[in-house]
Amino acid sequence: MKHWTEKFFVRQAKLWLHFLDRGWRRNKITVAAIVKILRKHGIKKGRLLDIACGNGRICIPLARKGFSVTGIDVGSAYIDDAKKRAARSRVSAEFVCGDMRRLDVLVRGKFDVVLSVWTSIGYYDKKTDERLFKTIARRMKKGALFFVVNTMSQEYLLQHFCTNLFDETDKYVILHPCNTFDHSQSINKVKWVFYEKKGKDLAYIDEFNMKLRIYSLSEIVEMGEKAGLKFVEAYDSMATLDAVKPDSRLNVVFQKG
């Protein structure tokens, strides 16, 4: 059976593209925070790699600020959209369609900045993420920064856990029935059942069974350090850059020494 990411992000790309498009409305806060942190570390330009970049929500604005951007994502629909958006913004950005588990063969050279934004890790298992972190570390220049931000944490999930949830946009209603969390493996299983709004009715579209490895802050820090990176700082949110709280999501910065 295909992995859930294949069905959700690739075969039914139109659904997630709707969410990525909506995400552009709130990208400014994250972009401004990344720029602020980079400036603090003396990084004003250079090569930036956005892993699982979606349709370029974060890296295209950073290309506009002068970074030489490479974005990779497994969804060709998102990559095509990112290329169109970059062309419209007249920025130099390279977008590659591929699996982050093959990062080493997808990109060339070393980077000044690497990004993983909006829960773009934990799709496989811990070993896979450990390998990914090691590959990322090899691809970073000395002094480069690696951001894992706007990412679900074990601390947040457990303090705000709901068994049944729903979400709504102008186009869709999404039900999340029977969420579970396996403490022993830190695995969150969550179903997404999509309905399209048709006037006052809802038309069923499809459903997806997602399985995510949710990391605690200490696990992420350990994974970065095991990859040879130095933990720099963790924040409560990218909006405030306040110090981390007991139920913060993951907003973590590493540096290559």
Residues that bind ligand SAM (CB under 6 A): 5, 9, 20, 23, 52-54, 57-58, 72-75, 78, 99-101, 117-120, 123
Burial class (CB in 10 A: 0-12, 13-18, 19+), 12: middle
Closest to 144 in 3D by CA, of 152, 153, 133, 136: 136
- For ligand SAM, the closer CB: 169 or 225: 169
Q: Which residue is nearest to ligand SAM (CB)?
A: 54
Q: State how far the Cα of 21 lies from the Cα of 56, in Å rounded to an integer.
A: 10
Strands laid side by side in the 67-73 sheet: 93-97, 67-73, 46-51, 111-117, 140-151, 250-256, 229-234
- For ligand SAM, the closer CB: 11 or 36: 11
Q: State how far the Cα of 6 lies from the Cα of 170, in Å rounded to an integer.
A: 25
Q: Smallest gap, in angstroms, from Cβ of residue 53 to ligand SAM?
A: 5
Q: Smallest gap, in angstroms, from Cβ of residue 197 to ligand SAM?
A: 22
Q: Smallest gap, in angstroms, from Cβ of residue 189 to ligand SAM?
A: 17
Residues 6 or more apart whose CB falls under 8 angstroms from that of 170 comprise: 197
Helix axes of 13-23 and 76-88: crossing angle, nearest 10 degrees: 40
- For ligand SAM, the closer CB: 58 or 221: 58
- For ligand SAM, the closer CB: 120 or 154: 120
Q: Smallest gap, in angstroms, from Cβ of residue 72 to ligand SAM?
A: 6
- For ligand SAM, the closer CB: 53 or 63: 53
The residue assigned the tokens 């850059």 is 241
Q: Smallest gap, in angstroms, from Cβ of residue 165 to ligand SAM?
A: 17
Q: Smallest gap, in angstroms, from Cβ of residue 55 to ligand SAM?
A: 7
Residues 6 or more apart whose CB falls under 8 angstroms from that of 102 comprise: none
Q: Smallest gap, in angstroms, from Cβ of residue 27 to ligand SAM?
A: 7
- For ligand SAM, the closer CB: 9 or 67: 9
Q: What is the CA radius of gyration of the chain?
A: 18
**Phi, psi of 11, rounded to the nearest 5 degrees:** -75, -35
- For ligand SAM, the closer CB: 5 or 179: 5
